[in-house]
Structure 1
Amino acid sequence: MALTPMIGEGQLRVTHEAPSEPPDTRSWLDGAIVFDHRRWSCREAELTWTAPSHLIVLTHTGKTARTRVSCSGELVYDGRDGPGALSFIPAGVERSGSYREADLVYSALWLDHAQFKREGSAETLPILVNRADAVITTLLTALHDDIAHGSKPDTAYVEHLAAVAMHRVMALDGAKPPPATHGALGKVTLRRVQEYVEERLGGEIRLSDLAALADMEIDSFARRFRAATGMAPYAFVIERRICRAEQLLANADHEIALIAARLGFSSQSHFTTAFKRQRGMTPRAYRQQLFS
């Protein structure tokens, strides 16, 4: 059924569920991060669910006549769902919900607790239901738009997005966010990270691996890397791939599709989109300019 959460276990009862298109689902880090976008419509539904992953849900469009949500047996929301409604359920928390006259288009971001354990535990993370946050809304909407246009965003980008979203979740609860680590990465650490990236431009580069090289948490590493280079880690990876692509495009014997595969892009279309965003022209146009 369309409402069935992808991760975890529980019970579900739905009446008069309307047919819908298959969900659009993507995953990264061997399933540690899962993004799921779908439409769901029914007259009435009840569910009880527990998952080993944190869950962030954003309603894009649509509404419910009534939504009631309880977590660990305590009622946390009784009202309606609508555009912009944002919820966060920590891993391991039992969620019970009832929905009437539901017709919703929403995105769900599942974050494996083991991967994001440094961000908090079920005991310290807040439970948020039908709140609002412009930053998380923008992040999830942009992620969906990228996927809808046929690209699979880089792992480092999605890791950074997830870390920012978790940071915002804490701020929404009124809790103080983790203390910022000021200052840029040291020169030795920065060089080690840069060399790691250069050696692996053709494969998957994880933000968590880059942070581990610096012996830092993801959020702290991303801030200090930006302070040292002027760009986010994922943006640096893309820029280095585009720079390498420029070198390869200078050789007319290298086919564009093979360059895309060699540099870790999911497809030639993904490569073309990234190259045009960075250089203002397609790879083909860049090559033509070189040989004109």
Structure 2
Amino acid sequence: MEANIDITPDGAVLAQAPQNPCCNTLLPRTGSDIAAFPKPPRGLNHKALQRAVEFIDRHLSDSIGLADIANAACISRFHFARLFRVSTGRSPMEYVLDKRIALAKELLAHRRQKISVTAATLGFFDQSHFTRTFRRATGLSPREFSRLHAPPRNPCRCASGGGEP
């Protein structure tokens, strides 16, 4: 069996497969005609990206998996992971980790709390996991970062506000 080939008035080639007459393929006349076809979309659409980021923000202290974020964006996890990287330049889990480290920096710089509490607040397994991850991301341990960035303590604790107690 041989395929039927017709040329349309504008010069494009129309090929019809003999096994399936319903399957018609329109082929461009030259390589330059390919530019006329619509380009495939790049990355996640705005709504899906917004749903994913909002889900991450709301669940930053929870154990978040790729499937959880993909479900929030209403996309299969494999497709989501690829499109998220195209949209943000990072994998979804790198993005989650970056958000956790950024929040950890804020907490360490502005709050006086135990590092284990900060680790638990941000969804890390334990203080050791948090410390290793934080040091890898910043070059400092959480304690070193806290000491460098925390506001100075008031040395005088008297009620009068100054001088000798």
Change (3 A) 1:182 1:219: farther
Ranges in structure 2 where 5+ consecutive residues have no aligned partner: 1-39, 153-165
Pick the aligned partner of 1:208 from 44, 58, 67: 67
Query: Any conservation in 1 of the 2:60–2:122 contact (CA below 8 Å)?
Result: yes
Per-residue CA deviations over 1:122-172 (Å, capped at 9, x if unaligned) read xxxxxxxxxxxxxxxxxxxxxxxxxxxxxxxxxxxxxxxxxxxxxxxxxxx
Query: 4+ residue runs of structure 1 moved beyond 6 angstroms?
Result: none
Instruction: Name the structure 2 match of 1:233.
Output: 92
| Deviation, structure 1 residue 228 | 0.5
Pick the aligned partner of 1:286 from 141, 145, 162: 145
For 2:46 and 2:146, how far apart are their aligned partners in 1? Answer: 35
For 1:220 and 1:182, how far apart are their aligned partners in 2? Answer: 13
Opposite residue 68 of structure 2, the aligned amino acid is: D
Aligned length: 112
Percent of pairs identical after alignment? 37
| Deviation, structure 1 residue 243 | 0.8
For 1:280 and 1:223, how far apart are their aligned partners in 2? Answer: 29
Instruction: Name the structure 2 match of 1:246.
Output: 105
Query: Any conservation in 1 of the 2:60–2:123 contact (CA below 8 Å)?
Result: yes
| Deviation, structure 1 residue 285 | 1.1
Per-residue CA deviations over 1:177-210 (Å, capped at 9, x if unaligned) read xxxx862011221111111111111111121121
| Deviation, structure 1 residue 255 | 1.3
Instruction: Name the structure 2 match of 1:164.
Output: none
> In proportion to residue count, which structure has more strand?
1
Instruction: Name the structure 1 match of 2:114.
Output: 255
Instruction: Name the structure 2 match of 1:220.
Output: 79
Task: Give the RMSD, CA atoms, in angstroms.
Answer: 1.6
Query: Any conservation in 2 of the 1:192–1:213 contact (CA below 8 Å)?
Result: yes
TM-score normalized by the length of structure 1: 0.37
Pick the aligned partner of 1:195 from 44, 48, 54: 54
Ranges in structure 1 where 5+ consecutive residues have no aligned partner: 1-180
Query: Any conservation in 2 of the 1:182–1:224 contact (CA below 8 Å)?
Result: no
